Amino acid sequence: MPKLKLGAAFYGLAAIATTVTVVLMLVRQGPWADVHGWVFGALVAVVALSAVFLAVGAVTRRGLIADDGPWICRHGWAVLVGVTVLGFVLTLLTDADIPWLPTSPAVFIPHWIRRLQEKYWEGRVEAEVQAVRERNAAVFRAEPGGEPRSGS
């Protein structure tokens, strides 16, 4: 498949949102003020790692579920799912009242962008086929008897 265009923007926005979450965690804003110890450090690492994976999807312009390219572009979605599951387990280990890991929707981003990309290219192919059909129909209508001229 060709490289992502719009999908890279979605990956970039998700990476920025996840990075903002990391910053809020580090300044202990909101629900993160009550989380302490190794669980807090592990949660920060998990969210930061998710931001890195999403940024890789944006920078490489191939995404995290590509058919070709580096290993991270072909299997990054599985690593992102694993990191998100690890974050969910870590949120269960803390006594603080924190929401489910903020990067949990990130699990769906690679598949959603892949589907968006496939639909885009299907639409492009369909539009090209329709243009060829219209061109051929115009040629048949322009010729007397509905037969195209030879040599054209």
The domain ranges of the chain are 6-146
In whole angstroms, give the CA distance from residue 148 to residue 152: 8
Q: What's the pLDDT at 50?
A: 86
Query: What's this model's pTM, rounded to 2 decimal places?
Result: 0.63
Q: Does pLDDT of 150 surpass 60?
A: no
Residue (of 104, 110, 97) closest to 46 by Cα position: 104
* Each residue's pLDDT tens digit, 101-143: 656 566 667 667 777 777 777 888 888 888 888 888 777 776 6
Q: Does pLDDT of 148 surpass 60?
A: no
